[in-house]
A and B are shown apart, each in its own frame.
Chain A
Amino acid sequence: MNSSPEMLLELDRVKTYFPVERGLLFPSITGWVKAVDDVSFSVRKGEVFGLVGESGCGKSTLSRTILQLVRPTSGAVRFRGCDLVTLSRKELRSRRADMQMIFQDPYASLNPRMTVYDTLAEASQIRGATAANSVSSDIRKLLDQVGLAQRHIRKYPHEFSGGQRQRIAIARAIATRPELVIADEPVSALDVSVQAQILNLIINLCSERNLTMIFISHDLSVVRHLADRIAVMYLGRIVELGETETVFHDPLHPYTQCLIQAAPNPNPEMQEKRRYQAIQGDPPSPMNSPSGCAFHPRCPIAVDECSVHRPELQPLNPSRLVACPRTAEASAD
């Protein structure tokens, strides 16, 4: 993969495996969970990159691997051209301010013993603001930006509702003035009306601060609304990648098709037009993933060959990659 200047983040054949150990006294490794298996993609500066997939497909492990919260088994994660995998913990520390994360559960990700002020002050001090008055003016600006009233500044996380807590978590993430923000299911725990407020906040911040964002969600309509490009993951691998609208209009991989069809649509009229057969079976465990294409046991168009060869992610055109030789052939005809 060529390193081009506008790419902020590049992943090159990243693998994150977790050992499965048996035995209490003398544990031996009996297998590997391939949480992230040979994933490569790059994220352009200033874009929102959506990552979708069902639970257990490795999207959260992938995001943690990018931030080096989990070290990959192999592969390279280049952030502004510098491979984070080779950096020591100490060297990483200085770079972490550039890469921040927003988690799903804002209560679990905020320190319950720290007030809003303490939480945000800690983050903004990392960027060198040390004088007390500059810190507090920073914090006031942050609260304004995320739509929290100044009077909340001395409160603790438990005094806030879920939506407000997520605003604090977002304020903390942008306090270090990061270039890359990874949002891991930031609105999944919120009610519909609050979800819209937080999504708007994210849209505004991205455009105001020219943030690059990796947005992880299982909710397709949310990802479709925000993301410029999306990658669909299944069992640790990317099965399809492309411009969001193209993928949604014309999904090529059978899994992407199933996923889009299975998403409940809040429009009863569309429902009646589309009586589909739900795909059978559950996502398999990443501990013993099926041979060949991991999706073949559930795939409606699988042939014998699919259980033998693992399809690679193939470029159809410069902006579209699919890991299914059968659909790639069909669309080339």
Chain B
Amino acid sequence: MDLFSDRMKPLLQVENLNVSFQTRKGRVYAVNGVSFQLYPGEILGIVGESGSGKSVTCYSLMGLIPNPPGRIDSGSALFEETDLLQCSSRVLRKIRGHHISMIFQDPMTSLNPYMRIGPQLIEPLRIHLKTPRQEAQQQAIRALNSVGIPEASLRLRQFPHELSGGMRQRVMMAMALITEPELLIADEPTTALDVTVQAQILELIRHRKEKTGASVLLITHDLGVVAEVCDRVVVMYAGRILETGSTRDIFKSPRHPYTSALQRSLPGRHRKGELLKTIPGMPPDLLEPLCGCPFADRCDYRVPECSEIDGELILESSDCGTACPRVHRGEISLNEVKQGGDSSL
């Protein structure tokens, strides 16, 4: 789907990002040569298992990688003419919380437990837009209402611990969206929540995008969440992008053995009680720079060549690509993932 790329300039363009961390055992190469674009008004999902580098990618955009031990080795991230990786911390502070906001997995640890909801909520307005306090209060009430929190004026006087988990995550969202940022980065926003509350938050993200046209970068490990809200998907593994494409394509006809294996291992795709198709082995150790395809050891379609290729993403159209040269050349056809019918809830 070239829905976005034809008409628009990307809002965020990440090129060849490399991030590593110094540890006691040596340097860990957490993100290797990651490039992607995010267009205005789209929800881009970054999926991957733990340790795949999805969070590190987004933290480096926000300047949240602690240095030391972390280090951004190379790359650029253009957000409306500004390179987020090169700009001074003063410029970054102006962008963060105003043009780009972030919500985190655990709303309890990202809200200040000593502050009432009200002052926390209007902080970005007061700092970035210098909104007078009275007016900011009014906006805060509107923001809480828009994320579905009833009795907003009462909530403003409460402390975070007085709210439930879903309520806290909604406060976080209200806070992140109060300055109407062009880009919202959501790092596993629903992982700590119950399914019914998760459905509400996802609904909110989708609704927000439709209403304001803001872009969302959604980091998650849950393929179900991706299918639910994302327009496009980036699949990460061992610090690299293995596949990118529209959500529909990724689920219907995956273009990388890892993506297809991952989907085949979901219980919903099997007959009841049947043994699940598993991916043998473990993700590679990132302590050494990888050579070859990072998934080669666990791949069903491995050939000797796989340990020599550079493992880079081959773009097949402007926003669809695979890192598997064999799929690209049409040497292997990944079985279409069986859809629908009994396999779904």
A contact residues vs B (CB 8 Å cutoff): 54-55, 161, 163, 191-197, 199-200, 203-204, 218, 220-222, 224-226, 244-245, 248, 258-271, 278-280, 282-283, 285
* 18 A-B contacts (beta carbon < 8 Å): A54-B196, A54-B197, A191-B221, A193-B261, A196-B265, A196-B266, A197-B278, A261-B199, A262-B196, A264-B202, A264-B224, A267-B343, A268-B227, A270-B339, A278-B196, A278-B202, A282-B167, A282-B197
What's the minimum C-beta distance from A269 to chain B, rounded to whole angstroms? 6
Contact B196 A266, beta carbon cutoff 8 Å? no
Contact B266 A224, beta carbon cutoff 8 Å? no
Contact B49 A192, beta carbon cutoff 8 Å? yes
Residue B71, interface by CB 8 Å: no
Contact B272 A266, beta carbon cutoff 8 Å? no
Contact A266 B226, beta carbon cutoff 8 Å? yes
CB closest residue in chain A, given B268: A221
Residue B279, interface by CB 8 Å: yes
* Chain B residues with CB below 8 A from A220, complex form: 195, 345
| CA gap between A235 and B272 in the complex, in Å | 28
Contact B272 A225, beta carbon cutoff 8 Å? yes
CB closest residue in chain B, given A283: B194
Contact B339 A269, beta carbon cutoff 8 Å? yes
Contact A266 B227, beta carbon cutoff 8 Å? yes
What's the minimum C-beta distance from A151 to chain B, rounded to whole angstroms? 16
Contact A204 B344, beta carbon cutoff 8 Å? no
Complex interface residues of chain B between 251 and 268 (CB less than 8 A to chain A): 251-252, 261-263, 265-268
Question: A267 with B339: in contact, given A193-B261, A221-B267 (CB under 8 Å)?
Answer: yes
Contact A218 B224, beta carbon cutoff 8 Å? no
| CA gap between A258 and B198 in the complex, in Å | 12
Interface size class of B (residues with CB under 8 A): 35 or more
Contact A265 B278, beta carbon cutoff 8 Å? no
* Chain A residues with CB below 8 A from B252, complex form: 268-269
Contact A262 B199, beta carbon cutoff 8 Å? yes
Contact A269 B248, beta carbon cutoff 8 Å? yes
Residue B270, interface by CB 8 Å: yes
Contact A266 B266, beta carbon cutoff 8 Å? yes
Additional A-B contact list (20), CB under 8 Å, known A224-B267, A278-B202: A55-B194, A194-B49, A199-B267, A200-B275, A218-B195, A221-B266, A224-B345, A225-B267, A248-B345, A262-B196, A262-B199, A263-B224, A264-B222, A265-B227, A266-B227, A267-B268, A269-B252, A282-B164, A282-B197, A283-B197
| CA gap between A263 and B344 in the complex, in Å | 10
* Chain A residues with CB below 8 A from B196, complex form: 54, 258-259, 262, 278-279, 283
What's the minimum C-beta distance from A273 to chain B, rounded to whole angstroms? 9
Question: A280 with B200: in contact, given A196-B277, A266-B223, A266-B227 (CB under 8 Å)?
Answer: yes
CB closest residue in chain B, given A197: B278
Contact A268 B203, beta carbon cutoff 8 Å? no
The interface residues of chain A, by DSSP majority, are classed as helix
Pick from A192, A204, A245: contact of B221, CB under 8 Å = A192
Contact B275 A204, beta carbon cutoff 8 Å? yes
* Chain A residues with CB below 8 A from B75, complex form: none
Contact B277 A278, beta carbon cutoff 8 Å? no
| CA gap between A260 and B199 in the complex, in Å | 11
CB closest residue in chain B, given A191: B49
Pick from B226, B279, B344, B345: contact of A196, CB under 8 Å = B279
* Chain A residues with CB below 8 A from B340, complex form: 267, 269-270
| CA gap between A245 and B266 in the complex, in Å | 18
Residue B166, interface by CB 8 Å: yes
* Chain A residues with CB below 8 A from B200, complex form: 278-280
* Chain A residues with CB below 8 A from B228, complex form: 264-265, 271
Contact B194 A218, beta carbon cutoff 8 Å? yes
* Chain A residues with CB below 8 A from B247, complex form: 268
| CA gap between A269 and B249 in the complex, in Å | 11
Contact A193 B49, beta carbon cutoff 8 Å? yes
| CA gap between A266 and B226 in the complex, in Å | 7
Contact B267 A263, beta carbon cutoff 8 Å? no
What's the minimum C-beta distance from A174 to chain B, rounded to whole angstroms? 18
Question: A268 with B251: in contact, given A196-B278, A245-B272, A260-B345 (CB under 8 Å)?
Answer: yes
CB closest residue in chain A, given B280: A197
